[in-house]
Amino acid sequence: METSRRNFLIGTSIVAGSAAVGGYHETLGKAITMQRRGEKAKDAIYGNAPLTEITQKEGVITHSNDFVVKPSVCNGCTTFCSVRVKIDAKSGEVVRVFGNPYSLLSSDPWLPYKTPLEESFKATSGWKESGLEMRSTACSRGNLVYEKLKDPFRVTTPLKRVGKRGEDKWVSISIEQLIKEISEGGNLFGEGEVQGLKAFADTKTLIDAQNPDYGPLANKLCVLGTADEGRQNYMVHRFVQSFGTVNFMGHTSICGLSMRAGEAAYLDDFASSPHMKPDFEHCEFLLSIGTAPAQAGNPFKRQAKLLAKGRTSGALRYVIVTPILTNSDSIAVGDRSRWLPIKPSGDLALVMGMIRVIIEEERYLKAYLAIPSDAAQKTLNEVSFTNASHLVIMDGAKKGEILVDATKAVHVIDKADGLLKNAANVLEADILYEGEVSLEGVKYTVKSSFVLLKEAAFEHSLDFYAKESGVDAQTILELAREFTSYGRSVGVDCHGGTMHSTGFYTTYAIMMLGALVGNLNHKGGMSVGGGKFKDFNGACYNLLAYAGKQKPFGVRIDRARMAYEKSSEYRRKVEQGVNPYPAKDAWFPFSPAIESEVINSSANAYPYKLGALISWNANFVYGQSGSEHLLPLLKDPAKAIPLFVAIDPFINETSRYADYIVPDSVLYETWGVLAPWAGHLTKTTHVRYPILKSPNATFANGEPISMDSFMIELGKALGLSGFGKNAINGTTAKFDFDKPEDFYLRAFENVAMDGANPAPEASDEEIALAGLGEYIPLLQRICTDNWRRVAYVMSRGGRFADKTSAYEGNKMSNAYKKPIAIYNQSVGTAFNSLSGEPYSGVPRYYTPRFYTGAKIDMDSKEFNLLAFSYKSNVLSSYTASVESLRDTRYTTFIDLSTTTAKNYGIAHGDRVVVRSREGKVQGICRIREGLHPRSIGIEHGGGREGEGGMSVQINGTIKEGRIARRSGVNINKLGLSDASRLNIATLSDFVVGSNARQAIPVRIEKL
């Protein structure tokens, strides 16, 4: 101890001496001798910290009258965590944000739902250090994102462009003028007649009589949303489906569609696209590929917390496979944490190599894979089952189909006697069968699903997979053996790293690793989530149904959800006796929606040209790789989008090209009902309601303009069903729908009343403590006898099942019930619409490619590096206007490894340009260890040209853009187009159309 003290004193004297030379002698001298200097702080310990909302003394909580604490949901990223917001009682301004201790997205463990509100403050206080165990936090974004509320670039009144699209010149207009012009059209900009929405609010007249499958005129409206932050059902069911268009889409195609679709193939459910996450808390080995918990992923905060717990107090070991070393890795936990660097897009080869090793060495769980049906699963008391033993017909008219009888019952080979039987009557089936069978008098040549997987994995040697992945063969071998050494408490995960041209099969392969060890529904394995409480269609109301609701039909503008072979185009070619391939352009039958196909498809009038686009907080210009190629189509109203209306509280990179901007509410001014996207094992529903007054312009009824109120008034102006008198269906009566509160408070009531045991009733004390006094009249009017139960849900920010409800023994309580698709029949019987190439129904290796199969040159001498983006743990596309975040992360860089930088003669801090074949970006080079030498990394979230990044003119006054917001690099400007497609199309996954933003061949030059 004395030695340490002596070393400390020696060290401080050295620093003090150095500081004297540098001119800081007085300052540092004061610091070392603990003397005061400058203005005296208010408190010797806490300095000038703001006043607290509560004080705790010996377990007694006293609440300050200066503040009120209300629950809400953070919109700082797509996790949408539940938070508590500290509001100044006098000014009404947000002072601070912290986590909601009742929600698993902010706490682990989280408080039992029936914990009194008063006790929740005590639990998170310093009382007996309970705040350490019950700590409920917000991340850096969540702490500061409320700055958006008062951002000077926020839009609060409707705007109409007065110059050409993209010139950033606007004028304020009244709400009445906005709705009239959007509805009725006219010569709105002195550029000729523009049809208003009334022109195609028509579900009877066909777009094209020669192609009736295109559907009605209503399909000429497309609505683009973003991640579901709790209001998507409102938009889709109350407006989109009332209008009658099939064309609604979120941002999935530019975010994680390859991952979503690959998991949907694995779970054999393209309709609802369920999503899986590891059970971090009980997982013993995790393999995370192309995503890094604590750096990225969803739920962001929760994953980070569970990862930290698992590797310290739990039994978790994990390997993160990414081109860049991330925050997931920790030296402090030794060999429990490991980073495996990989070449961008090398993940498919790596995993196919692992599958080969696991099958070759018979390290897969044979007994589990032999379970052929849910009946056998239940008899054997198993947690899930696969179709590994199901037999796939190899030739004839039914080629690619799974063998079933006339009643659609699956038949398999019984391992006990080698006979073909109904799978429901077999406990152990033969997963290695291939040969001939007879069923109902017909002979078939068949192979089991598992045999097809084995053949696909064995198409290439381990050395080939090593070369293609950039990971040596011995490492792949050892990783496969390690992965299969922990039983079934094993997790696999992937996300944005799969967003390249073969990302669908990459995800399918990654998930298949889990099937080989039987981890679905198993404690410590993989979960599809804990579910949610019934919200929009529940015990009290069906808010999604109403008289006159349309059933939209027809081909979507993105040609998603439908096979080309079902189109009139295909049928005509067959009738004419010509080869039906190629189609005019790509079709995507397995994808729910593809935002990145809208502009080019409309410009090509394939299948038809749109009449109008409504974007709602969407920003594909910033988020879509290669969107620069689409800007000429967007700028000219005659080319793709004649009428463009953006609902957005800011002018972002996309809405700057709109004709009109409709202000939306921001953060804590909004309504919403939402469940966690994934990563939870218990039933969870969050609610959000306005806890701050919106500064937006108001309608005649006093309601501030937002997406919600605007759709009501626009719907009424268009004469749509589902708005106004008796538009809401209750179980015993109908109710009027004139304000958002009429919809959302009833959804809250459904949540409160769900199940045999509804939510408790809130007391007067709790209502006051939660700041719900202003809502009492509304609650009493709308929710009548149930109003106190609804107040209870609101006071806690939602409804949450207790942590103890997660498991039933070793099985997850909310278990996935369908079989895992070792072979996916839907995929295995489908074809590429341009080449006619059949898709593989099992994971298979494909080289990076364009849609028709031409290879992308990943080893070009000219473009010999591969650019990739990675998720920021600080920045996001939602936080461009949050300037305080720049104290933590001012800008983004072009990241290069030390080795690569040396080879190119580039030093840390040099200005560089990165060029792809079709784009370029400039930035500051950051030299760092922990980067694959063939890669260039770019953190996502910088290089903004919207939300205050660029100057705008409103009502003749120029608001100067802020250089700090423009600072950084946007990798999407490097994006490639696909020359094998019709005219202009950005590069995508060749199966599902997800935007390919990873593994872009580039070169780098010093400026």
Rounded-to-integer distance, Cα 159 and Cα 171, Å = 5
Instruction: Render pLDDT for 894-904 as a digit per residue (tens, 0 to 9).
Output: 999 999 999 99
What pLDDT, on the 0 to 100 scale, is given for residue 21?
38
User: Exposure of 928 by Cβ count < 10 A (0-12 exposed, 13-18 middle, 19+ buried)?
Assistant: middle
CA dihedral 730→241→216→647, nearest 10 degrees, is 140
How many residues does this entry show for the chain? Answer: 1007
Instruction: Render pLDDT for 703-724 as a digit per residue (tens, 0 to 9).
Output: 999 999 999 999 999 999 999 9
Residues 6 or more apart whose Cβ sits within 8 Å of residue 261: 270, 273, 504, 507, 590, 591, 989, 991, 992, 994
DSSP assignment of 934-987: TEEEEETT----STTSS-EEETTEEEPPPHHHH-S--GGGGPPB-TTSSSS-B-
94 has a pLDDT exceeding 70? yes
Domain presence at residue 942: yes
Q: How much of the chain, in percent, has pLDDT values that exceed 70?
A: 96
Domain presence at residue 838: no
Instruction: Render pLDDT for 270-297 as a digit per residue (tens, 0 to 9).
Output: 999 999 999 999 999 999 999 998 888 8
- Helix/strand/coil for 774: helix
Parallel, antiparallel, or unpaired: how do β-strands 169-172 and 798-800 relate? Answer: unpaired
What pLDDT, on the 0 to 100 scale, is given for residue 12?
36
End-to-end CA distance of the chain: 53
- pLDDT band of residue 592 (cuts 50, 70, 90) is very high
Domain presence at residue 744: no
Domain presence at residue 660: no
Among 123, 138, 153, where does a domain finish?
138
- Helix/strand/coil for 824: coil
What pLDDT, on the 0 to 100 scale, is given for residue 136?
86
- pLDDT band of residue 1 (cuts 50, 70, 90) is very low
**Residue 4 exposure: Cα atoms within 13 Å on the Cβ side:** 1
SS (HEC) of 676-702: CCCCCCCCEEEEECCCCCCCCCECCCC
874 has a pLDDT exceeding 60? yes
Q: How much of the chain, in percent, has pLDDT values that exceed 90?
A: 88
Contact 750, 774 (CB under 8 A): no
What pLDDT, on the 0 to 100 scale, is given for residue 133?
81
Domain presence at residue 79: yes
What pLDDT, on the 0 to 100 scale, is given for residue 128?
84
Measure CA 223 to chain center. 18
Rounded-to-integer distance, Cα 503 and Cα 899, Å = 28
Domain span at residue 922? 854-1006
Among 138, 162, 179, where does a domain finish?
138
Average pLDDT over residues 224-240: 95
Closest CA to 314 of 295, 340, 333, 338: 333
Residues 6 or more apart whose Cβ sits within 8 Å of residue 795: 71, 117, 762, 766, 767, 769, 770, 772
Average pLDDT over residues 796-818: 96
Average pLDDT over residues 633-649: 98
What pLDDT, on the 0 to 100 scale, is given for residue 33?
53
Rounded-to-integer distance, Cα 371 and Cα 992, Å = 30
pTM of the model: 0.95
Average pLDDT over residues 379-400: 98
Instruction: Render pLDDT for 503-560 as a digit per residue (tens, 0 to 9).
Output: 999 999 999 999 999 999 999 999 999 999 999 999 999 999 999 999 999 999 999 9
What pLDDT, on the 0 to 100 scale, is given for residue 29?
56
Average pLDDT over residues 874-888: 86
9 has a pLDDT exceeding 60? no
Rounded-to-integer distance, Cα 440 and Cα 407, Å = 11
17 has a pLDDT exceeding 50? no
* Cα maximum dimension of the chain: 99
Domain presence at residue 72: yes
- Give the CATH number for residue 894: 2.40.40.20
Query: Peptide bond before 632: cis, by omega within 30 degrees of 0?
Result: no
- For residue 411, give both structure tokens: 């038949």
34 has a pLDDT exceeding 60? no
Sign of the Cα torsion 177, 178, 184, 189 reads: positive
What pLDDT, on the 0 to 100 scale, is given for residue 679?
87
DSSP 89: T
Element (H or E) spanning 781, and its range? Answer: helix 776-783
Instruction: Render pLDDT for 910-943 as a digit per residue (tens, 0 to 9).
Output: 999 999 999 999 999 999 999 999 999 999 999 9
What pLDDT, on the 0 to 100 scale, is given for residue 4?
44
Domain presence at residue 59: yes
Rounded-to-integer distance, Cα 681 and Cα 82, Å = 17
Question: Mean pLDDT for the chain?
Answer: 94
What pLDDT, on the 0 to 100 scale, is given for residue 132?
80
What pLDDT, on the 0 to 100 scale, is given for residue 38?
66
Rounded-to-integer distance, Cα 768 and Cα 669, Å = 20
Rounded-to-integer distance, Cα 684 and Cα 676, Å = 7
Average pLDDT over residues 454-474: 98
Cα–Cα distances (Å) from 258 to 494, 506, 534, 993, in that order, read 10, 8, 29, 8
Sign of the Cα torsion 479, 485, 486, 488 reads: positive
- pLDDT band of residue 30 (cuts 50, 70, 90) is low
Domain presence at residue 982: yes
Q: Across 401-512, where does the E strand assignment appear?
A: 411-413, 420-422, 434-439, 442-448, 490-494
Among 111, 138, 165, where does a domain finish?
138
311 has a pLDDT exceeding 50? yes
Average pLDDT over residues 188-212: 97
What pLDDT, on the 0 to 100 scale, is given for residue 19?
38
Please count the structural domains in the chain: 2
What pLDDT, on the 0 to 100 scale, is given for residue 515?
98
